């Protein structure tokens, strides 16, 4: 177990990167606390797998250092870093039994057979695969295969960090939540640092204590799931997390006040921004009211538990989540924003102060 | 209710006719010869299973069959491991990939009788490059028209030269299809290069290697042109493989009955070994 520090990390897949665009990772500085459950969340191609491979040692960074408990491991190969990684597609050794698969990382390190047997039994019990130990791993279903690859990571008790690279991609939807809760339970039992890479917000928010959101090779925000939801530091986070994402509305600041058309929108707190900016409000905090901003209903989508109402205010489209009766498309309505949840963003970054 | 349309049979007819003409009818002709004796003039006498018995009891057939198994066994023992080793050491990406692949494919593009003729000239003691080098420069007595050992060494080397590429190309195709994650996982699990080969690469190559062994078995077991051009079965009978012997009986001695019986036995052996091997190799996959 160890604290993992990434210091001034940069990576480019090109031989001679020149502009910032050439970097898959732009200047990452980050501490992963020992024993934490982290999720690395971002759209495909944002650099999260690159970051993961740098931590595991499969890739060495163009610049910067990776420290495990302040020990520089930047140039160490993966097998000397004591890490474990679970890949997108289950990696198992087809010709071996489940037992041999789980024992493989231990045997390769010269662990005695007694110790191997007790560790494998313990992990198999934890993963609920004890009854499969003697079967050939090749015949297992994808979710069991993925369990075995997780098991190979957890079987060593000295792992610094277990990394999951979108591990539920090939798992059937109805088994996903099962494996996900299994993972959460495993984290509590083994107390190892875990980093979970995904582009699925549900997976990230349910698994992690801390979510690291990435975009275009940069970290945009680190926070608890609640923080990410309630107060996105960047419009990207607001948009990426939530279903539907945050409404981002262009606005013009006049005398420290935000306007949408001719309507003044009260913000959560004071701001120093002038000129063009953006108002951010989650659909959960937009209500249909008797009075307020006049809008026209464009489309209503019933998603089961609630309805999403998409309406137009001038050019801007605003989504609202409501329960109960819904207006018809084309009908005029009034919208009101919950003041404490109305944020202001300038050039993408949050610019309003939180209300006390 | 499903309508039965018998017209579909009509469309299968061309294939049936084709298969009949290129396989069934010739094959039945052989079966016909194998149970009769003829003295020409289209006069046939019923012989029953006599020819089969004669062939199966003949020392000449046993010797040829022994030589055939030795040849096939030796080339498989050399070509399969060598092909795998070459495939493992080939680059996986970049400029050299296509150069390696084209170079590898070249020997397979040469017609079989040309290969035989090439190696014949190559090994001639007086003017052949290899023959001259061995005899004159190195002083090693190497003449495949005189020494059975030299003849065997030459036909084995020729086949290895001609066909190892097939194993290489198939193995290489198997290797490049292994996702990177397997190598990365093995690295993280602390597997040695040998273990990576044994537990990752070899299992993933199993299917293509099965095909490679099967193709090489069938081809080498039925080989005719190359050794015929190169050694003509000599010196003596030392490189008279089954097919060469068969042609001698059928066209040299014009013993059509025994030759037909031998053909069928030959065919049965090839089929049986291929079937046994394939069943054994794929047995585990069905579990």
Tens of pLDDT along A83-106?
A: 888 888 888 998 888 899 899 988
Considering CB atoms only, which of B181, B185, B203 is closest to A95?
B203
Task: Read off the tokens for B212.
Answer: 């490679």
Q: For residue B182, give the chain A residue with the closest CA.
A: A91
Considering CB atoms only, which of B181, B188, B287 is closest to A79?
B188
Torsion angle, CA of B246/B249/B251/B254, rounded to 10 degrees?
-150
Q: Looking at chain A, how many residues does it have?
A: 356
Share of residues in chain A with pLDDT > 90 (%): 1
Q: Which CATH architecture has domain A4-235?
A: 3-Layer(aba) Sandwich (3.40)
Is residue A328 pLDDT above 50, yes or no? yes
Fold of A245-350: OB fold (Dihydrolipoamide Acetyltransferase, E2P) (2.40.50)
Residue entry with tokens 């084995």: B156
Please answer yes or no on whether A87 and B184 come within 8 Å at the CB atom. yes
Considering CB atoms only, which of A79, A83, A87 is closest to B181?
A87
In chain A, residues 90-119 whose CB comes closer than 8 Å to chain B: 91, 93-96, 104-105, 108-109
B287 chain-A contacts, CB cut-off 8 A: 136, 139
B59-286 has CATH 1.10.3720.10 classification = yes
Is residue A319 pLDDT above 60, yes or no? yes
Q: Which of A90, A91, A116, A195 to mutate to test the interface with B (most CBs of B within 10 A)?
A: A91
Is the confidence metric ipTM above 0.90 for this complex?
A: no
Q: For residue B189, give the chain A residue with the closest CA.
A: A105
CB pairs under 8 A between A and B: 53
Considering CB atoms only, which of B181, B195, B200 is closest to A108?
B195
Nearest to A335 by CA among A207, A249, A223: A249
Q: How far away is chain A from the Cα of B189, in angstroms, using its nearest Cα?
A: 5
A149 chain-B contacts, CB cut-off 8 A: 185
Please answer yes or no on whether B188 and A108 come within 8 Å at the CB atom. no
CB atoms under 10 Å from CB of B97, counted, come to 14
Q: Which residues of B touch chain A, with CB atoms under 8 Å apart?
A: 179, 181-182, 184-185, 187-192, 195, 199-200, 203-204, 284, 287
Task: Read off the tokens for A24.
Answer: 């898959």
Our CA angle for B219, B225, B229, nearest 5°, is 145
Could you please report the per-residue DSSP string of B64-110?
HHHHHHHHHHHHHHHHHHHHHHHHHHS-SSSHHHHHHHHHHHHHHHS
Considering CB atoms only, which of A88, A104, A139 is closest to B189?
A104
Task: Read off the tokens for A343.
Answer: 């944020």
A83 chain-B contacts, CB cut-off 8 A: 188
Quick check: A56 contacting B, CB < 8 Å?
yes
Q: Which whole-number Å values give the CA distances from B14 to A206, B18, B23, in the listed order?
A: 63, 6, 14
pLDDT at A144: 86
Q: How far apart are CA B230 and CA A341, in angstroms?
A: 90
Please answer yes or no on whether B187 and A77 come within 8 Å at the CB atom. yes
Considering CB atoms only, which of B181, B188, B195 is closest to A78?
B188
Please answer yes or no on whether A58 and B187 come within 8 Å at the CB atom. yes
Q: Which whole-number Å values give the CA distances from A17 to A10, A45, A171, in the listed order?
A: 11, 18, 37
pLDDT at B287: 46
Our CA angle for B215, B221, B226, nearest 5°, is 100
Cα-Cα-Cα-Cα dihedral sign, residues B29, B31, B36, B37: positive
Quick check: A167 contacting B, CB < 8 Å?
no
Q: How far apart are CA A29 and CA A6, in angstroms?
A: 5
Quick check: A88 contacting B, CB < 8 Å?
yes
B200 chain-A contacts, CB cut-off 8 A: 93
Could you please report the per-residue DSSP string of A234-290?
BHHHHHHSSSS--EEEEEEEETTEEEETTEEE--SS-B---EEEEEEE-GGGEEEES
Q: How far apart are CA B65 and CA B61, in angstroms?
A: 6
State chain A's mean pLDDT as an integer: 85
pLDDT at B82: 95
Q: How far apart are CA B40 and CA B21, in angstroms?
A: 24
Q: Looking at chain B, how many residues does it have?
A: 287
- For residue range A112-134, what is the model confidence (pLDDT) as tens digits? 888 899 889 888 888 888 888 88
Please answer yes or no on whether B188 and A56 come within 8 Å at the CB atom. yes
pLDDT at B1: 57
Q: For residue A149, give the chain B residue with the closest CA.
A: B185
Q: How far away is chain A from the Cα of B190, in angstroms, using its nearest Cα?
A: 5
Worst-scoring range by mean pLDDT, A15-19, A142-146, B14-18?
A15-19
**Coil, strand or helix: which one is A167?**
coil
Q: Per residue of chain B (287 residues), give pLDDT as tens.
A: 567 778 888 888 899 899 888 888 888 888 888 888 877 677 777 777 877 888 788 888 888 889 999 999 999 999 999 999 999 998 888 888 889 899 988 999 998 889 888 888 888 888 888 888 888 788 788 787 888 888 888 899 999 999 999 999 999 999 998 988 898 888 888 888 999 999 999 988 988 999 999 999 999 998 888 888 888 877 878 888 888 888 888 887 777 888 888 888 889 999 999 999 988 888 866 54
Sheet holding A25-32, edge to edge: A25-32, A4-11, A63-68, A71-72
pLDDT at B285: 63
Cα B4 to chain centroid distance, Å, stands at 45
A93 chain-B contacts, CB cut-off 8 A: 199-200, 203
Quick check: A280 contacting B, CB < 8 Å?
no
Quick check: A72 contacting B, CB < 8 Å?
no
Please answer yes or no on whether B189 and A56 come within 8 Å at the CB atom. no
Residue A137 and residue A92 in contact, taking contact as beta carbons nearer than 8 Å: yes
Are A4-235 and A245-350 equal in CATH topology? no
- For residue range A155-195, what is the model confidence (pLDDT) as tens digits? 887 888 888 888 888 788 888 888 888 888 888 887 788 88
Quick check: A340 contacting B, CB < 8 Å?
no
pLDDT band (50, 70, 90) for residue A9: confident
Give helix then strand counts, H and E, for chain A. Answer: 8, 21
Give me the residue spans of the domains in chain A: 4-235, 245-350
In chain A, residues 147-166 whose CB comes closer than 8 Å to chain B: 149, 152-153
Q: How far away is chain B from the Cα of A19, in angstroms, using its nearest Cα?
A: 26
pLDDT at B2: 65
Task: Read off the tokens for B204.
Answer: 């993933």
Q: How far apart are CA A332 and CA A312, in angstroms?
A: 10
């Amino acid at each position: 177990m160890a604290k993992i520090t990434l210091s001034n990390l940069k990576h480019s897949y090109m031989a001679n990167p020149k502009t910032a665009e050439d970097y898959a990772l732009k200047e990452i500085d980050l501490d992963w606390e020992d024993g934490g459950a982290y999720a690395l969340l971002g759209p495909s191609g944002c650099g999260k797998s690159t970051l993961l491979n740098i931590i595991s040692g499969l890739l060495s960074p163009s610049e910067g250092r990776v420290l495990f408990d302040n020990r520089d491991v930047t140039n160490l190969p993966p097998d000397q870093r004591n890490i474990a990684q679970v890949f997108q597609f289950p990696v198992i050794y087809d010709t071996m039994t489940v037992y041999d698969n789980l024992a493989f990382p231990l045997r390769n390190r010269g662990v005695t057979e007694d110790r191997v047997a007790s560790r494998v039994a313990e992990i198999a019990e934890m993963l609920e695969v004890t009854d499969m130990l003697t079967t050939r791993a090749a015949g297992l279903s994808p979710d069991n295969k993925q369990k075995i690859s997780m098991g190979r990571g957890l079987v060593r008790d000295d792992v610094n960090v277990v990394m999951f690279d979108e591990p539920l991609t090939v798992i059937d939807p109805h088994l996903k939540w099962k494996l996900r809760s299994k993972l959460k339970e495993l984290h509590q039992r083994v107390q190892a640092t875990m980093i979970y890479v995904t582009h699925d917000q549900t997976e990230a928010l349910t698994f992690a204590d801390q979510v690291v959101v990435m975009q275009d090779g940069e970290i945009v925000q680190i926070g608890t799931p609640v923080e990410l939801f309630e107060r996105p530091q960047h419009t990207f986070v607001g948009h990426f997390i939530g279903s539907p994402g945050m409404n981002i509305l262009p606005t013009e600041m006049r005398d420290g006040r935000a306007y949408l058309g001719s309507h003044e929108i009260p913000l959560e707190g004071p701001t120093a921004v002038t000129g063009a900016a953006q108002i951010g409000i989650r659909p959960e905090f937009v209500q249909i009211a008797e009075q307020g901003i006049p809008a026209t209903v464009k489309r209503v989508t019933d998603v089961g538990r609630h309805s999403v109402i998409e309406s137009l205010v001038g050019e801007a489209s605003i989504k609202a989540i409501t329960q109960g009766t819904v207006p018809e498309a084309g009908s005029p309505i009034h919208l009101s924003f919950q003041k404490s949840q109305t944020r202001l963003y300038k050039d993408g970054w949050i610019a309003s102060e939180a209300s006390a | 209710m499903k309508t039965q349309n018998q017209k579909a049979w009509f469309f299968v007819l061309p294939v049936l006719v084709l298969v009949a003409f290129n396989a069934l009818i010739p094959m039945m002709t052989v079966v016909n010869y194998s149970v009769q004796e003829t003295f020409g003039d289209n006069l046939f006498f019923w012989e029953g299973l006599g020819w089969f018995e004669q062939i199966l009891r003949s020392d000449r057939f046993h010797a040829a069959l022994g030589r055939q198994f030795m040849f096939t066994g030796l080339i498989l023992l050399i070509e399969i491991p060598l092909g795998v080793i070459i495939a493992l050491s080939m680059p996986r990406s970049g400029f050299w990939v296509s150069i390696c692949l084209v170079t590898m494919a070249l020997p397979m593009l040469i017609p079989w009788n040309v290969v035989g003729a090439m190696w014949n000239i190559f090994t001639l003691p007086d003017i052949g490059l290899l023959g001259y080098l061995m005899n004159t420069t190195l002083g090693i007595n190497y003449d495949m028209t005189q020494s059975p050992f030299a003849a065997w060494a030459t036909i084995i080397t020729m086949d290895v030269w001609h066909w190892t590429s097939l194993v290489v190309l198939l193995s290489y195709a198997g290797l490049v299809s292994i996702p990177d994650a397997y190598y990365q996982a093995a690295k993280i699990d602390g597997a040695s290069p040998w273990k990576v080969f044994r537990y990752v690469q070899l299992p993933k190559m199993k299917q293509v290697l099965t095909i490679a062994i099967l193709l090489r078995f069938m081809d080498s077991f039925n080989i005719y042109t190359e050794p015929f051009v190169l050694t003509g079965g000599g010196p003596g009978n030392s490189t008279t493989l089954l097919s060469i012997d068969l042609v001698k009986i059928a066209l040299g001695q014009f013993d059509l009955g025994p030759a037909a019986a031998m053909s069928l036995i030959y065919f049965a052996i090839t089929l049986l070994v291929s079937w046994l091997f394939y069943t054994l190799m794929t047995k585990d996959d069905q579990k």
